[in-house]
Amino acid sequence: MLQPYMKSKYHQLSRPTQVFVFIDDHELYIDSGCFAFPCPFLVPDKTNNWGHLPSDRHNQGCSVSFADGHVIHWPWKSPKPKRFIGDAPLAVSDVDLKDLREIQTWFPWAKN
């Protein structure tokens, strides 16, 4: 059984225009077919952890698609530094943290 914050059906989303379903993964993290970062409700001490990094190879931005089907090019405020897979991909600056917080608002657990 899914936790109450987990969504598995379109009709469970209160705002599908604000829930992302695809993001261009950083080339060093294309290894699993998913984009992941810790859920702030389950692991609050990892709130500033990217998990996987998004790509910034397209003019310091990436493509993001949403549950309603629209796609945007999102420009990052901060470059996404290339790190080795074993390194903890934490937000490296206040500006990078703003980028992470933006993505966190696009997850169904945040408000949808």
Per-residue pLDDT of the chain (112 residues; tens, 9 = 90+): 445 566 667 788 888 898 888 888 888 777 777 787 777 777 778 788 887 888 888 888 888 999 999 999 999 998 887 665 555 567 778 898 899 889 888 887 654 4
What is the residue-wise DSSP string for 2-61?
--TT---SGGG-S-GGG-EEEE-B-GGGTTSS------TTT-GGGTTB-SSPBP-TTTSE
- Parallel/antiparallel/unpaired status of strands 71-75 and 61-66: antiparallel
Which sequence spans correspond to the domains of the chain? 15-111
3-state SS class at 20: strand
Length of the chain equals 112
Q: How far is CA 55 from the centre of its chain?
A: 11
3-state SS class at 111: helix
In angstroms, the first-to-last Cα distance of the chain is 19
Chain position carrying tokens 């990436």: 62
- CA 6, 69, 36 angle in degrees (round to 5)? 40
In angstroms, what CA-CA distances link 19 with 29, 34, 85?
A: 21, 15, 26
What pLDDT does 111 receive? 46
What pLDDT does 55 receive? 86
